[in-house]
Amino acid sequence: MLAIICCFSTSQALQIKSTSNQDIGFNAIDTCWRKHGDWATNRQALADCAKGYGADVEIFVNSYKTIDGRGARVEIGNGPCLRINDVEHVIVHGINFRKCLRGIPGLVRIDPDHLLNTSSNGVPDGDGIRILSSSHVWIDHCHFSNCADGLLDISHKSTAVTVSNNYFTQHDKAMLLGHSDKSPQDNKMYVTLVLNHFASGLTQRIPRVRYGYVHVANNKYDEWGMYAIGGSSCPTILSEANYYRAKNDSDAKQVTRRISNDPGWKNWSWNSKDDVFLNGAYFVSSGNVWTPNYAASQAFELAPGGSVPILTLHAGPLQL
């Protein structure tokens, strides 16, 4: 079951001044909706603002789903958390995911007319958010920490996913993209990771990728214990204009790790473009450079890597 705690309603929240475009800078996602004074209640404005591969998300309460925590403090945790399973056009915004736990097999109602038997469809494994067999998903301005398994996993043919403006901290294996090395169906996966803050206390999988195509752009990495970006099974990765600061550990300077005995890894398309590397951080590139094939409605403007610390100051749920 989901354990949900709502602490402050919109009517109880303090008023905050609207944020100007200049204050937000190059953060094209936030600029789109936070420029409006009624941003905490204007749900449709949010739905119109997705970028990257998870763009073109529409907000329909019955057929589609938006979980929008703006105007309140919402936490999901202390039990199995959120699964996005075999759906499309989903937005999750402004939610705190903490201490998500593994579940037990059983029946879960997924809509008024259907029950899901988790015994045959995957027992809750303690992820903050688990995205399976889904498309056109946008995860924005959430907080993730201290879960039993991963903080955010995307797998089983999921595609067209954007993960933006989130705050990740205090976890070992943060993010898995692609189910296993025996799941080539994930080669259709397209994911955008943009404007996230990967803070202290993360060890690895930031993310780990199997198959698929991932654009990692304008993210802030405070440190990593083993590696930041890893993968196997020939994934395609472009790291662009990120801000990488390695910790004071000579064994934790390399951003990348190929988790494979395949000598063909030198042909995998893993490349760094306009990234900022500090305190000895470095990226091992390979293969040809892949250019994300965004449609016009998905494209967004990237800031220089040196601007990323300012642009990610408001990562995670916004405070009213």
Question: What stretches in the chain show pLDDT beneath 70?
Answer: 1-26, 43-44, 47, 53-63, 108-111, 114-116, 118-122, 320
Read off the pTM.
0.83
Instruction: Give the pLDDT confidence score for residue 240 in this predicted structure.
Output: 98
Nearest to 320 by CA among 32, 37, 13: 13
Exposure class string for 274-291: b at 16+ Cβ within 10 A, else e = ebbbeeebebebebeeee
CB proximity list for 233: less than 8 A, separation 6 or greater? 178, 181, 184, 210, 211, 260
Residue 50 is predicted with a pLDDT of 74
CA atoms within 13 A on the CB side of 9: 2
- d(CA 199, CA 170) in angstroms, rounded, equals 8
Name the DSSP letter for residue 181: T
Q: Residue 33: what pLDDT?
A: 78
Q: How far, in Å, CA of 300 to CA of 237, rounded?
A: 18
- Render pLDDT for 42-52 as a digit per residue (tens, 0 to 9): 766 776 787 77
List active site positions. Answer: 205
Q: What is the DSSP letter of 206?
A: T
Number of domains in the chain: 1
Contact between residue 67 and residue 92 where contact means Cβ atoms under 8 Å apart: yes
Helices (H), 26-160: 28-34, 43-47, 118-121
Per-residue model confidence (pLDDT) at position 53? 66
pLDDT by residue (tens digit) across 205-220? 999 999 999 999 999 9
Q: How high is the pLDDT of residue 225? A: 97
pLDDT 10s digits, 99-123: 999 887 777 666 677 666 766 556 7
Distance CA 6, CA 8 (A): 6
In a domain, 19, yes or no: yes
CB of 153 closer than 8 Å to CB of 302: no
Domain membership of residue 320 (yes or no) is no
Residue 90: domain span: 4-311
Residue 37, in any domain of the structure: yes
Rounded to 5 degrees, what are φ and ψ at 22? -65, -35
- Give a yes or no: residue 319 inside a domain: no
Alpha-helical regions (H) of 9-100: 21-24, 28-34, 43-47
CATH code of 104's domain? 2.160.20.10
| Model confidence pLDDT, tens digit, residues 275-285 | 999 999 999 99
Instruction: Identify whether 317 is part of a domain.
Output: no
